[in-house]
Structure 1
């Protein structure tokens, strides 16, 4: 598959199945456990740089009504829930949400839905998505941001964080081709997911076309994040 070939619905279904199967081991990656333990020095870089992105999220005015897309096991949900009057979590995987500690809180609502087709007539003060944008096919990037823009109230904020290309060296990566990456589960089974490393220009351009002004930054070696508001809105960190 070349970088110009479109991602099929079947490939997106395989991506969702992979994350459902990976739910019980996903946090090993985030917490640098098991195969993802890279030693004290490299782990310290990971936690420092993830902290930079978390600080950027903390500096952003999210408002009261927050939508998180693809919250998964909740590594970012736990930072959103204390700040929101209402937090809505939308994920395609029941298994992932079962590991999310924010999901059971009284002011948190969960929806199981395909994020490529989900829509809502509701409007939110902010939309957050962590480690999701890289799983969006290039041909769907513009339409994704258009939908994000449609879910925001005037002045609403957007925050995202994702990998930089160094992620291709992660121990569970078995191969990369075009828009896809083959990943290995702890069981030894493999699955192919979408994995794109968008440039800052690609992201800010797609966001701008949806009426969203975004500033994209890098933490150093590992992560890319963006913090923004609509043109009419509040200041972003």
Structure 2
């Protein structure tokens, strides 16, 4: 594993506004039909055989970690999007709850209509539930959480978990700033282009390992954060 470039200190970031969060959600709704091009390294994201193979190899490394976990019976997946990771959860559990702010994204999720899967369209920054889960999963979501909401987010995750419940997540490292759809970044935000040429500003934070561990610990979750060689940050956690 290589050491990723240092992330800036949190004090350098201005708080994210509600309008910026709304723009982020609108962007992902517009991107739903083209989102999988990024994950599958198609079109503009095809970086050539060697780079694509490295991406897929590291993705397999992270998937192996998820597959090694005992998910229990009831799982909550936050921001599941088009289902890249949902398809690896649904066959293994009694119930899977998918919560996403974008109906367009969920429309592309192949497990959304399965008998043990329930979907909820809701703003993840305000959504709550009395249901408790054995595992909470969120993939390529933590980087979209504003820094000023990070501790609160982990408190929510802890509250949704049963005692001894697990957490799994995966996200980008700063190398993602070089992706072809990125037009620029500053503070907590990144400008992204759609295939149509239209641009939008989203929230994009690259959290240090110690930031994540500290925020999770304050919520009663022991978190182990790792990184692959080039592309991904991932973590497993256990509620105390």
Contact 1:3–1:179 (CA under 8 A) maintained in structure 2: no
- Aligned pairs (5 A) from 1:114-129: 114-129=123-138
For residues 47-90 of structure 1, the C-alpha deviation after alignment (integer angstroms, 9 at most, x for no partner) is 00011110111111110000000000000000001111100000
Shift of 1:3: 3.8
> Structure 2: how far apart are the matches of 1:138 and 1:78?
30
Match of 2:195 among 170, 173, 186: 186
- Gaps spanning 5+ residues in structure 2: where? 1-10
Q: Given the alignment of the two structures, is residue 59 of structure 1 paired with residue 68 of structure 2, yes or no?
A: yes
Shift of 1:4: 2.2
Number of corresponding residues: 230
TM-score (norm 2): 0.95
Structure 2 match to 1:137: 146
Structure 2 match to 1:227: 236
In the TM superposition, structure 1's runs of 4+ consecutive aligned residues that sit over 6 Å from their partners are none
Q: Given the alignment of the two structures, is residue 15 of structure 1 paired with residue 35 of structure 2, yes or no?
A: no
- Gaps spanning 5+ residues in structure 1: where? 232-237
> Structure 1: how far apart are the matches of 2:77 and 2:99?
6
Structure 2 match to 1:198: 207
Shift of 1:198: 0.2
TM-score (norm 1): 0.96
> Structure 2: how far apart are the matches of 1:52 and 1:18?
29
> Structure 1: how far apart are the matches of 2:14 and 2:172?
22
Q: Given the alignment of the two structures, is residue 100 of structure 1 paired with residue 100 of structure 2, yes or no?
A: no
Superposition RMSD in Å: 0.8
Q: Given the alignment of the two structures, is residue 69 of structure 1 paired with residue 78 of structure 2, yes or no?
A: yes
Match of 2:164 among 130, 155, 169: 155
